[in-house]
Amino acid sequence: MRFTDGAWMVRDGFDMHKACEIRFIKKEEDKLVLTVPTYKIYGKGMTLGGVFLTIEITSPIENVFRVRTYHHKGDKSLEPSYFDIISSVRPLDISEEGSTITAVSGDSSLAIDKENFSMKLYRGGKLITASEGGSLAYIDGSNGSYMREQLSLRVGEHVYGLGERFGAFIRNGQSVDIVNKDGGTFSEQSYKNIPFYITDNDLGVFVNHSETVSFEVASENVSKVQFSVKGECLDYYLIAGSSMKDVLTSYTAITGRAPLLPEWSYGLWLSTSFLTDYDEKTVLSFVDGMLERGIDLKVFHFDCLWMKDSHWCNFIWDEDMFPDAKALIEKIHQRGIKVCVWINSYIAQQSELFDEADANGYLIKKTDGSTWQTDMWQPGMGIVDFTNPSAKAWYLSKLKSLLDMGVDCFKTDFGERIPMEDVVYFGGQDPERMHNFYTYLYNEAVYSLILKEKGEGEAILFARSATAGGQKFPVHWGGDCKSDYVSMEQTIRGGLSLMLSGFSYWSHDIGGFEDKSTADVYKRWAAFGLMSSHSRLHGSTSYRVPWNYDDEAVEVVRFYTELKKKFLPKILEASSVAHETGVPVMRPMVLEFQEDPVCAFLDRQYMLGSDILVAPVFDETGYVEYYLPAGTWKDVYTDETITLSSGKVFKETRDHLHMPIFVRG
C-alpha cells in the first residue's frame, strides 16, 4: 500500500499524521507508554484537538521489543491478532538522559528521541534499524484509516522472508501483500504468507496482524521497509540479533518451533498424482514396481480420487476402485510402507456429510444466516468452521476413522481460498483476520489428532497453506508448479524464502505438478528433491513413477534415495537443531555463510543442515554454476577434498548422477 507521491507529497485521498514529539511518559516495571502528538505543541491551546498516538513498548524475551501503537483506543482493530504467540513480558530497564529515553532488553536497547520523535534499535552498540523522520504515522484515507511504519535500511542491506515467495529471493524493491491465495508458483501470489522479514544486518521484524499486511520493501521509499495495516492500531516486534540464525531463534521463540518428525518421513514419498485414474491394482503395481527396482519407498500417498469425484470431502473410499480399502492399506504396510491420504476442509454439496454439517452449523455462514457456498473447486462446497468446537470435533471424528483403518498421516490441501466478505464465524471472529489464520486452525486441528493418536515423534502432515506459527505443524510443500526448469528454479526460491520465515522443513512436487516434464527435467528435479528435507513424487495428470520416463530415471531416483539415507544422521541432527533453535534443516547460503558477501545473492543452491552443500542443475546440457565458500569441501562422489582460502565459483557440466554435492570440513 503506497501513500506518498514521490519524496515530498502525499497521494490524493490520504491525510498523513506523523509521530512528532513525546508529550507524556509513563514508566512501569515491564512497560513504557508514550503519548505522541503528530504535530508540535507550542501551547495548551494546541491540545484541544488533533491526532495523538499512544505507543506501548514491552519486551517478551531478551533482545526483542514489542511496539504497539494506537490512535483511537476503543476501535476494534486493537483487539489481539489471532496468532498463537507468547504473552509473557520481562522487566525493562528504562532510563532518561537529556532528550533521550532508553529501554534496555538483554544486550539490546531502544533509544527514543523525545523532541523529534524517533526510535533507534541497537544491539551491543551496533545500529540495527531506526524509525525516524515521521516514519510512524496514522493515515486518514478515503477508504478508511491506516497505521504505517517505516524502518531504515543500511547501505547494502538485504531483506528476506515474508513467506514462500517465488520471485526474486531478495525482497528489496518488491511490494508484498500478506494475504494467502491459491496462485501457483509462478505469480506474485503465495500459499504461505508470513508477516515476518529478516535482514543480513541481523534484524527481524514480525508484524503481529493476522489480517492483510502491506509491505513496501525498499520500493515506495528505497531506503526503508514500510509496512501498513488498516485500522487504528499497529503491533510489531523488533528483533535485534547477533546473527541471522539468532534472529530466527528469537522469532520462533515467540511464534513456536517445529517438532521432531518420524525418521521414515525423510524417505521417498510416492503419490498417485492428482487427476490420474487408479485403483487397487494400479496402486500395488506402483508400490511393487518401486521395490522391485530397488527403490526404498517409505510412504505411499493417495491423492483426491481415493474418494468419488464431486464428493470431496466425504472421507469415504470409492468402493468401485477400492472395494476393501482396509485390506489394501494392510498390504502396503506389510511392504514396510506408510500410507498418507489427501483431505481438505471443504464439504461438497454431493458429499454424504453436507446435510449433516449444514444442519448442525458446522460450516461457515453468510451474514443472512445461510450457509456460505461456492462452485469453485467442488460444486456447492461449504467450508468447515474450525472456530466451532463441535464442528472441529465432528471433522476430526471422520479423520480418526481413517486412522483407525490404518492411515498414517494426511495431506492437508488448500486452506487459502477462504472468503472475507459476507461471512460469519461461529466464534464471532473478524473475517479479514480469519482469512490468513484459517489455515492455522485447520492444520493445528489435524496435526493435534495425529499427535494424539500416533504420539510424539510420529505425527506429520503434508500441508500447502500456512501463516505465522504454521511451522509447528509440518511438513509444507511448495504447491502447484509447472514442469520445466524455470519452475524448478521458482520452486527452490520459494522454499528458501520460507526457510527464512521461521519454517524448518519443506518439500515440493518432484518433476513439477502441471503436465508432464521431459525425462531430463524429471531426473534433475529428482536429484534436487531427494536432497531436500522431504521428498515426494507427485503430479497432476500423469503418473510420476520413474519408469514412466526412461530407464535412467529409475537409476537416478534409486541412487539419490540411497544417498539421502547415507546423509540421514546429519539430517536428523539438523532436525534436532531446528526443534531446539528454529534454525531450519534446509538453509539458504546467506544463513550459513552470512559474512561471505557472495552468499547474500545465492538462491539456486543451499545447505542441507550445516555441512551438506547442494547445487541443483537447471539446464538440459548439464551445465551448472555453483559457489563454494572458503573452507574445506569434500566431493561426495570422488572423495576429492578442496581447500579454499576464499570463495570460488565453479562452472561445470554434470550428468544426471552427479549433481554437485559437497560436505564441509
Is CATH 2.60.40.1760 correct for 14-157+200-255?
yes
Q: Catalytic: which of 182, 200, 413, 458?
A: 413
**Beta 338-343 vs 297-302: how paired, if at all?**
parallel
- Cα–Cα distances in Å, from 413 out to 52, 77, 409, 467, 473? 45, 30, 13, 14, 13
For residue 163, the Cα-to-chain-centroid distance in whole angstroms is 4
If you classify domain 586-664 with CATH, what class do you get?
mainly beta
Marked catalytic residue, from 246, 444, 480, 592: 480
Q: How many whole angstroms separate alpha carbon 477 and alpha carbon 487? A: 14
Which DSSP string corresponds to 40-60? Answer: ---SGGGGSSS-EEEEEEE-S
Q: Is 640 a catalytic residue?
A: no
Per-block mean pLDDT, blocks of 10 residues, the chain (665 long): 94 97 96 98 92 98 98 92 94 96 98 98 97 97 95 98 98 98 94 98 98 98 98 98 98 98 98 96 98 98 97 97 98 98 98 98 98 95 98 98 98 96 97 98 98 97 98 97 97 98 98 96 98 98 97 98 98 98 98 98 98 98 98 98 98 98 96
Contact 306, 322 (CB under 8 A): yes
DSSP assignment, residue 386?
T
Distance CA 664, CA 28 (A): 50
Size of the chain in residues: 665
Same fold, 14-157+200-255 and 586-664: yes
319 is catalytic: no
pLDDT for residue 456: 95
Catalytic residue among 202, 211, 220, 416: 416
Q: Based on the number of CB atoms within 10 Å of its own CB, is 446 exposed (0-12), middle (13-18) or buried (19 or more)? A: buried
Residue 212 to residue 196: CA distance in whole angstroms:
13
Q: What is the pLDDT of residue 302?
A: 98
Catalytic status, residue 580: no
d(CA 154, CA 147): 24
Which pLDDT score is estimated for 125?
93
**pLDDT for res 478:** 96
Look at phi and psi of residue 474 and say left if phi exceeds 0, alpha if psi is from -120 to 50, else beta: beta
Exposed e or buried b per residue across 58-87, where buried means at least 16 C-beta atoms within 10 angstroms of its C-beta: bbbbebbbbbbbbbeeeeebeeebbbebee
C-alpha cell at 164: 514462500
Would you state the cell numbers that stand for residue 288, as one nine-digit string? Answer: 511393487
C-beta neighbour count of 393 within 10 angstroms: 12
Q: Residue 55 forms beta bridges with which residues?
A: 34, 69
Contacts of 591 (CB under 8 A, 6+ apart): 244, 245, 248, 499, 500, 583, 584, 607
The CATH topology of domain 263-581 is TIM Barrel (3.20.20)
Domain ranges of the chain: 14-157+200-255, 263-581, 586-664
The confidence score (pLDDT) of residue 140 equals: 96
